[in-house]
Amino acid sequence: MRFVLAGLAVPAIIWAQASTSSPDTMRSQMTDSAAKQRDSVLKQAAAVSGKPAAASNSFFTVPWIDPIAHSFNTPPPCDPMEKTALDSLIEKNSKDQGVKAELIRAVINQESGARPCAVSVKGAQGLMQLMPETAAQLGVANPFDPKQNVEGGARLLKQLLEKYKGNVTLALAAYNAGSGRVDHDGGVPAIPETLQYVTQIITKLPKMVR
C-alpha cells in the first residue's frame, strides 16, 4: 500500500528532525508547512473530485488524504470497498481483459487496501493507483470511480503482460516502477519499494497465476 497525498512538499529539515521530535511537535511543524499550500491543493482536489473545494480544518478534503494524519499511519478517509461489489468488478474485468482475477485482486489489495479514495505520495489514484496521465491514456475520466479505475487498471495489467510475454514478475515491476525503468534495467529494478512490491504480491498469488 502506498497512501499519502501528492502535491505536498515537506521541507527536508522537518524529516531530519523526526527522530528527535515528538509526534506532536512534528505534526505542528508539518502542518505549518502544509498550510502554505492549502489553497492550490484544495482547487486541485475540487478539479479531480468534481466537488467544490470547501475550507476545513484538515489540509485536504475527500477524496484526498491528509498527509499529516497519514504520516502517522492513519488510513485513507474511506472504508474498503464492499467485497461482493469489488469481486463483481474484478471478475468482469478479468473476463473482459483476459487477466487472472487473482492478479487484479492482489494488485488492488497491495495498492490501496481496496479503498477507492486512496492517493499515493506520487499522485496515483484510486483502487489500482493510476497516475493521472496513465488514467487519461486508458480512458479513465474519474480514477476515484471504482468501475472506471478497475477497468483501467486491468487494461494496464493486460498491456504489461503482453509486453513482457506473460511474465507476471516483470509486469508487476513495470506497474510499480514503469516499463521504461524495467526495460532500462533489463529486469526488476533494484528499487526497494519495487522489490518489496513485487515480492509481496508474487508470494500471495497461486502458482498458476505466477
Hey, which residues are catalytic here? 111
- Which run of H or E residues covers position 124? none
Rounded CA separation 66/79 (Å): 15
Rounded CA separation 27/33 (Å): 10
Neighbour count for residue 180 (Cβ, 10 Å):
9
Rounded CA separation 111/125 (Å): 9
Rounded CA separation 87/142 (Å): 20
For the CA atoms of the chain, what is the radius of gyration?
A: 18
